[in-house]
Amino acid sequence: MSIRLHPNAKLNLGLRIAGRRSDGFHDLQTIFLPVTELTDTLDIELLEGQNRLEVNDHSPFPMGNLMAHTVATAYHLLAPYRPQAMRVTLTKRIPVGAGLGGGSADGTAFLQLAAQRCMLPVDIPLADLALRIGSDCPFFLRNAPCHARGRGEILTPIEWPCPGLWLVLVTPPIHISTPWAFANLPPREPSTAPRQTLVDLLGQPLDQWQRGIINDFQPLIERTHPQVARILARLRDMGAAYVALSGTGPSCYGLFRKQPEVASTSFKGCYIHTQRL
């Protein structure tokens, strides 16, 4: 028997970093938004026996084996519950290491399926297991717009206020290390701490989002990677009502009121995805 899954990407709408915690993680605030039409594919063949996993990774992107690692991590977390033996073939469309949560989406989707194929009942909440895979994995269990706090695992569902906007997502062929980005993020001055939450700001007119819904990493990444700054400027020139970096990048995106024309030469060498939200 074979099963096919299509885990989708996500965007960060705003990303505020409050500070480093005693456990080494950072407290943050962000809006997670699913990108439902940008998906990977997991083909899962159910085999005889338990506690055996084979993973075939068909990734066109560098570091694709990191995605296979999240799938293997999910399976090993379930080892005490004797999951059915499986062979997984992973086909990537979501760019890797791009601030889009592709690895987390793959691992979480597989965790949900494998938990249903265990000989023993799984007596730990899936959200707790997902958090061991990655900080944004609990979001993919919901896969709906959410306000996230803590490491990203404290989730409050929200209503997306602008249905029908068009998304243009652009991922340049550069790698940005998440640990490097956190290590080089300038500390926020107490006097500049925002008074409004991202949910409050999301309730304002779209034209005001650019001033208030800020990704704290964006100035650092624009300064150290000029291509990111050029992509964001190009999206503005195309008429985007809001542009931003997703996560620690390098993916950039623009939100448009009308479907934009994206010429093949607009972002040479970049991965481009367009859809209606």
Query: Residue 155, Cα to own-chain centre: how many angstroms?
Result: 14
Reply yes or no on whether 136 is catalytic: yes
User: What stretch of H or E contains 241?
Assistant: none
Burial grade of 169 (CB within 10 A; 0-12, 13-18, 19 or more): buried
Cα–Cα separations (whole angstroms), residue 62 to 59, 94, 100, 172, 208: 8, 12, 15, 13, 37
Peptide bond preceding 250: is omega within 30 degrees of 0, i.e. cis?
yes
- In the set 10, 40, 92, 106, the catalytic residue is 10
Considering the candidates 123, 136, 207, 216, report the single residue annotated as catalytic. 136
For the record, the structure tokens of 163 come out as 């249905």
How would DSSP label each residue in 155-199? Answer: EEE---S-TT-EEEEEE-S----HHHHHHHPPPPPGGG--SS-HH
Q: How far apart are CA 92 and CA 174, in angstroms?
A: 17
CA–CA separation, 14 and 23 (whole Å): 24
Alpha helix segments (H runs only) across 78-160: 102-115, 126-133, 137-142
Rounded CA separation 178/58 (Å): 24
Q: Which residues contact 202 (CB under 8 A, 6 or more apart)?
A: 13, 31, 158, 161, 209, 213
- Residues 44, 262: Cα–Cα separation, whole Å: 35
Q: Which residue numbers are catalytic?
A: 10, 136
